[in-house]
A and B are shown apart, each in its own frame.
Chain A
Amino acid sequence: MPPLIRVTGLSKVYGAGQSRLWALNHVDLEIQSGEFVAIMGPSGSGKSTFMNIIGCLDVPTQGAYQFNGVEVTGLDHDRLAILRRHYIGFVFQGFNLLARTTALENVELPLIYRRVDRGARRQLAHEALQTVKLEQWVDHTANELSVGQQQRVAIARAIVTRPTLLLADEPTGNLDSHTSQEIMALIEALNREQGITVVMVTHDPLVAAIAHRTVYFVDGHVTSDQHQSESA
Chain B
Amino acid sequence: MLWNALGLALQEIRRNALRSFLTMLGIVIGVAAVVTMITVGDGATMQVSQQIQSLGSNLVMIVPSRRMGPVHGGVGAPAFRRADIEAIRRDIDGLKAAAPLASSSLTAVVGNGNWLSAVTGTDNAFFTVREWPINAGRRFSSTELVSGSAVCIVGATVQRELFGDEPALGARLRLGKMACRVIGLLAAKGQSAMGSDQDNLILMPIRTFQRRISGNQDIGLIQVSANSGDSVAALQVSLEALLRERRHIAVNEDDNFTMMSTREIGETLAGTLTILTALLGTVAAVSLLVGGIGIMNIMLVSVTERTREIGIRLAIGALMRDVLLQFLVEAVVLSAIGGLLGIALAILATLAITDMIGVPFVLNLGIILLGFSFATVIGVVFGYFPARRAAHMAPIEALRHE
Q: What is the interface of chain A, defined by CB distance below 8 A to chain B?
A: 52, 57-58, 77-78, 81-82, 84-86, 90, 92, 96-98, 100, 109-110, 112-115, 157, 161
B1, A98: Cβ atoms closer than 8 Å: no
B1-A81 in contact (CB<8A):
no
How far, in whole Å, are A97 and B311 apart by their CA atoms in the complex? 11
In chain B, positions 306-365 with a C-beta closer than 8 Å to chain A are: 308-309, 311-322
Residue of B1, B316, B395 most packed against chain A (CB within 10 A):
B316
B105 an interface residue at 8 Å Cβ cutoff? no
Residue B15 lies at the interface, judged by CB distance under 8 Å to chain A: yes
Does A57 lie within 8 Å of B399, measured CB to CB? yes
How many Å from the CB of B309 to the closest CB on chain A?
Answer: 6
A109 touches B313 (CB 8 A): yes
A52 touches B396 (CB 8 A): yes
Shortest distance between the CB of B373 and any CB in chain A (Å): 29
- Cβ of B50 < 8 Å from any Cβ of A? no
A113/B319 contact (C-beta < 8 A), A96-B312, A98-B309, A100-B15 known: yes
Contacts of B320 in A (CB 8 A): 77-78, 81
The prevalent SS among residues of A at the interface is: helix
Q: B312 near A98 (CB under 8 angstroms)?
A: yes
Which chain A positions have C-beta within 8 A of B399?
A: 57, 92, 96
Q: Is the interface of B mostly helix, strand, loop or mixed?
A: helix
Distance in angstroms between the alpha carbons of A3 and B74 in the assembled complex: 103
B297 interface residue per 8 A CB criterion: no
Cβ-based interface call for B141 (8 A): no
CA distance A214 to B385 in the complex (A): 46
B362 to chain A, nearest CB (A): 46
Give the chain B neighbours of A98 by CB distance below 8 A.
309, 312
A113 to B15 Cα, complex, angstroms: 23
Could you tell me the distance between the alpha carbons of A82 and B314 in the complex, rounded to whole angstroms?
10
The minimal Cβ–Cβ distance linking A109 to chain B, given in whole angstroms, is 6
A162 to B64, CA, bound (A): 97
**A57 and B316 contact, CB distance less than 8 A:** no
CA distance A109 to B392 in the complex (A): 20
A157–B396 CB distance below 8 A? no
Least CB distance, A114 to chain B, in whole angstroms? 7
Q: For the complex, what is the distance from the CA of A81 to the CA of B317, rounded to whole Å?
A: 5
* CB pair B312 A113 closer than 8 Å: no
Residues of A within 8 A of B272 (CB): none
> Looking at the complex, which one of B4, B311, B312, B321 makes contact with A112 (CB distance below 8 Å)?
B4
Beyond A100-B15, A112-B4, A115-B1, whether A84 also contacts B316 by CB under 8 A is yes
Q: Within the complex, which residue of A77, A90, A115 is in contact with B316, where a contact is CB–CB below 8 Å? A: A90
B312 touches A81 (CB 8 A): no
As a 0/1 sequence over residues 1 to 45 of chain B, the CB contacts with chain A under 8 angstroms (1 = contact) are: 100100000000001000000000000000000000000000000
